[in-house]
Amino acid sequence: MMTNASLHALSNGNDIPTHDELVGRARSLLPNLIARTEAGEAAGFIPPETIQDLKRAGLFNILKPKRWGGFEFSPKTFYAVQMALAEADMSVGWVYGVLGVHNWQLALFDDRAAQDVWGTDPDALIASSYMPKGKVTLAEGGYRFSGRWQFSSGSKNADWFFLGGIYPEGGAHAPGMGTLLIPRADVTIIDNWDVTALKATGSHDVVVENAFVPAHRTHTHLAGYMSDSPGNAINTAPLYRIPFGQIFTRCISTASIGALQSMLDHITDFGSGRVGAWGGKTAEDPSSQYRCAEAAAQLEQMKVVLDASYDFLDRHAVAGTQPSKLDRLRLRYQSSEVAGRCADLARSLYKVSGAPGIYADKPFSKIFNNILAAAQHNGNSFETWGRAYGAALLGQPNEELFL
């Protein structure tokens, strides 16, 4: 078995794994993820063994800087891995996406922040809640920070936290929203994740009380929007010039694609041999045939759009140019509509399972509910982002920076 140390050595050499190898590593974990699903749901967070499996496979290194043992791959690879993991357990896919994307954002901070996080533990992971609920006050050398945040996915699997606040006038940053990096020791996790779906994501509330945050552990949405962050001085790969909002928002929509793929696979396997109570064969039912075709075709469309989005953003990053606000709004809308589309398609596929589909020993209800829960996330509010994109098309201003 490949150890963490050997993977770090591998990533700093010339033999970095390929896209296909990384996706293959993810797929090799699926049987174990399926076997641990019930344990994760009962505990309310991803089992530590699963986190260690993901680390050993190098999957958290995909967006991480090479100088810290990472691979600096395109987000296309990262999200292909997330989709694969979500086919086995959507909660694992969700948490992997959230924790893994933070390794990319840390590269945007002053390099001292990365040294704080990875200097003693190169496998350290970061959870988050970006809601700007934190109270930020000026202090010598940085800030004092307090607050309570909801929905911190993977919080019990994390060593550090990115938490949202609004910087005060006259601070080291222009006033506005941003992210502060907090060690686990300064965070209290409120064990209140009692939900009907995505149970193992462990998206608990977290509390910080009057913690000191050095200035180098801060980052603003404006810097991320402009692709002009402190870390860009040392992490110079084009990957880190992609706008922050265009990287993060896909991590809370893409797991739905993997989950829907799993539902389609289960439905076609179940339906291919099913004979209904009245003697009809599901495989010969025109409605069932159409529902499966619709889901398969739209899954392919969503995957193609995701890849095309990052091809577009990669070209801008390599050229050192910025995508227009209109393009950013289009991409943001395309990301936000994924979970809702997947929920509609899952609802349609659910009908194919018929009455037997409601039994607890069948996977359909669980997958459907998980996708519905993902669609509830504010970042997947496609109506909001559709209106914002439509308004821009009609010439109206938009001051959103999380793009």
332 found inside a domain = yes
The candidate with the shortest Cα–Cα distance to 401, out of 232, 166, 126, is 166
Name the strand (E) or helix (H) holding 106: helix 90-106
89 found inside a domain = yes
246 found inside a domain = no
pLDDT at 4 over 60: no
Report, as an integer, the average pLDDT of 296-319.
97
Chain-wide mean pLDDT for the chain? 92
- Residue 231 identity: G
pLDDT in tens, 109-137: 999 999 999 999 999 999 999 999 999 99
Q: Which of 174-183, 301-310, 376-385 has the lowest mean pLDDT?
A: 174-183
Q: Which of 54-63, 173-182, 206-215 has the lowest mean pLDDT?
A: 173-182
Cα–Cα distance measured from residue 27 to residue 33, given in angstroms and rounded to the nearest whole number? 10
Q: Which two tokens stand for residue 61?
A: 């290194």
CA distances to 29, 156, 203, 225, 382 from 195, in Å = 26, 16, 10, 34, 23
Cα–Cα distance measured from residue 57 to residue 75, given in angstroms and rounded to the nearest whole number? 17
> Do 164 and 215 have their domain in common?
yes
Cβ within 8 Å of residue 282, ≥6 positions away: 270, 271, 272, 274, 275, 276, 288, 352, 354
Report, as an integer, the average pLDDT of 222-239.
94
Kindly compute the dihedral angle of the four CA atoms of residues 367, 371, 372, 373, in this order, to the nearest 10 degrees: 100
* pLDDT score for 274: 73
pLDDT at 54 over 50: yes
Q: Which of 7-16, 304-313, 326-335 has the lowest mean pLDDT?
A: 7-16
> Do 141 and 110 have their domain in common?
no
* pLDDT score for 162: 98
When pLDDT is cut at 50, 70 and 90, the band that residue 170 belongs to is very low
> Do 95 and 176 have their domain in common?
no
pLDDT in tens, 332-348: 999 999 999 999 999 99
pLDDT at 2 over 70: no
Give the 3-state secondary structure of residue 174.
coil
Assess contact for 334 and 312: CB atoms under 8 A.
no
* pLDDT score for 11: 41
Cα–Cα distance measured from residue 133 to residue 165, given in angstroms and rounded to the nearest whole number? 6
* pLDDT score for 141: 94
CATH of the domain at 51: 1.10.540.10
Report, as an integer, the average pLDDT of 280-284.
84
Cα–Cα distance measured from residue 372 to residue 344, given in angstroms and rounded to the nearest whole number? 9
pLDDT at 6 over 50: no
When pLDDT is cut at 50, 70 and 90, the band that residue 282 belongs to is confident
Kindly compute the dihedral angle of the four CA atoms of residues 40, 41, 42, 45, in this order, to the nearest 10 degrees: 50
* Burial (CB count <10 Å: 0-12, 13-18, 19+), residue 268: middle
Cα–Cα distance measured from residue 24 to residue 57, given in angstroms and rounded to the nearest whole number? 10
Task: Among 184, 202, 223, give the residue marking a domain's end.
Answer: 223
User: What residue numbers bound the domain in which 315 lies?
Assistant: 253-393
Report, as an integer, the average pLDDT of 203-229.
95
> Do 280 and 347 have their domain in common?
yes
240 found inside a domain = no
Phi, psi of 7 (to 5 degrees): -70, -40
pLDDT in tens, 216-225: 999 998 899 8
Number of structural domains the chain divides into: 3
